[in-house]
């Protein structure tokens, strides 16, 4: 009943795949057969490091981009419990806030289908040279 392990080619993500495989193998061994999970870590991996921005960052997750708010919350959780110290602010207004330093663009099969305002916002962000952080959904169940 172990979930399918996705193999990633990017080094940091490859470590996650290897940890998942190692955990599955260990949980089948006699020493760990009665456990449901193991707290495995790899020295120097990103999950074990504190995350912080070098300067304050205001990430704009537009309501016109379905799924971007959930992703923004997930990003913010990576900085929890001290998001302010890490220098991250999440903004979810309909119009671009003046304080926005980046636009979060969540990409899936429905990105430019559900709300035409998003195309206008992305066009304006490009014209304004606002950096766009693009996150492509890799889970087929999420589009």
Compute the average pLDDT of residues 131-135: 95
Q: Return the closest-CA partner of residue 60 out of 121, 113, 9.
A: 121
Low-confidence winner among 12-16, 65-69, 116-120 (lowest mean pLDDT): 12-16
DSSP-derived secondary structure letter, 110: T
Q: Determine the 3-state secondary structure of 57 from DSSP.
A: strand
| pLDDT band per the 50, 70, 90 thresholds, residue 6 | confident
CA distance linking residue 98 with residue 45, whole number of Å: 35
Per-residue pLDDT tens for 72-105? 888 888 776 655 556 788 999 999 999 999 999 9
Per-residue pLDDT tens for 18-46? 888 899 999 999 999 899 989 888 776 76
Q: H or E segment at 127?
A: helix 117-127
């Amino acid at each position: 009943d172990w979930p399918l392990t996705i193999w990633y080619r990017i080094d940091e993500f490859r470590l996650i795949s290897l940890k998942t495989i190692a955990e599955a193998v260990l949980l089948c061994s006699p020493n760990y057969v009665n456990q449901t999970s193991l707290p495995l870590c790899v020295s120097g991996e990103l999950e074990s490091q504190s995350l912080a921005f070098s300067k304050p960052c205001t990430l704009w997750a537009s309501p016109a981009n379905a799924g971007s708010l959930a992703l923004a919350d997930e990003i913010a959780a990576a900085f929890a419990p001290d998001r302010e110290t890490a220098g991250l602010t999440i903004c979810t207004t309909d119009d671009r806030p003046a304080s926005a330093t980046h636009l979060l663009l969540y990409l899936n099969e429905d990105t430019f289908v559900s709300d035409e305002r998003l195309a206008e916002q992305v066009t304006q962000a490009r014209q304004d040279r606002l950096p766009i952080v693009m996150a492509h959904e890799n889970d087929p169940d999420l589009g």
